[in-house]
Amino acid sequence: MTKMSSNVKGIIFLVLAALVISIQNIAIKWIGGDYSAIEIVAIRSVVALPLTLLFYRYEGRRGLPTTQQPKLEYLRGVFLFLSYTTFMMGLAALPLAEIEAIRFSGPLMITLLSVVILGEKVGPRRWLALIIGFVGVLLIVKPGSATFNLGSIFILISVLFYALTTILTRKLQTTDSSATMAYYSSLVYLVAAIVLAPLPALVGQVSDAHPSIAFLIRAWSMPIPIDLIIMAGLGLVWAGWMYLISRAYSLAEASVAAPFEYISLPINIMWGFLIWGEIPTWLTLAGAALTLLSGMYVLYRERQERQ
């Protein structure tokens, strides 16, 4: 297999991964008005946890996954749980296109945290790209305006915790396999969901709560069969996404494949329009363009430095 054909195949897997994970967004947005975010996480995790053991067997290993760095694994799991839960809260209140546009700030956030936490050096051109990218985020979020939505803050929090997860993943990938990390994160998801299960009863009903907050504190209820299938299916969607994304980066060079993750924006614009009639504003598209271009430049500069 030539390098070119390998990269093309990897990109195809990456686009398929974006399509598969977009199904998760549709499903959560579809049923999110009737159930608690924590309940959905719990049911999803019940399905996802045994799937991680299948991945572990697929790697040629036996028994339960073990790690030399349990504290980092559990911390990574907590960060991922917070990222996923706040992402779901944002889904309850925002159009899909706006959510994806904000998530484009991920590479920028990772670079910024790498400077602050890891002490990595960033040149003036990358600092300029970071500033332009975050200006794009401000255009999308519109803080202080009449159209500001609290849900966008939860998406930003989600991106922040995902960036922290990425930094921990860099530390763990030298000793732990992808299946091992997936196992520990799914285990943390399930335990955290069970621990937070009493939250709705403790808080009580809040009649005028923002949709994002309401999604978190809504009382648990027995899902109807079709909704239970959808919640359980989120675990299968995650498994499919994990396989496709791992396959993509095993075939293609990371620096070549990574920019194609931005295909998620047109995919989610399509779903938002077809299912809910959502049309992104010009301000959202302008902010997305700034954030996208800045993120791609940061990835390009990182590739140059590695070379």
Q: Quick check: 242 and 169 in contact, CB under 8 A?
A: no
Top mean pLDDT of 31-45, 135-149, 252-266 is at: 31-45
- pLDDT (average), residues 260-274: 89
| Confidence label for 40 from pLDDT (cuts 50, 70 and 90) | very high
If you average pLDDT over every residue of the chain, what do you get?
87
| Confidence label for 1 from pLDDT (cuts 50, 70 and 90) | very low
Higher pLDDT, 224 or 125: 224
- Half-sphere exposure of residue 189, counting CA atoms within 13 Å on the CB side? 27
As a residue count, the chain comes to: 307
Q: Quick check: 262 and 296 in contact, CB under 8 A?
A: yes
| Whether the predicted pLDDT of 59 surpasses 70 | yes
CA distance 81 to 21: 17
CA distance 10 to 256: 9
- pLDDT (average), residues 221-238: 92
- Half-sphere exposure of residue 167, counting CA atoms within 13 Å on the CB side? 23
Give the 3-state secondary structure of residue 61: coil
Q: Quick check: 100 and 289 in contact, CB under 8 A?
A: no
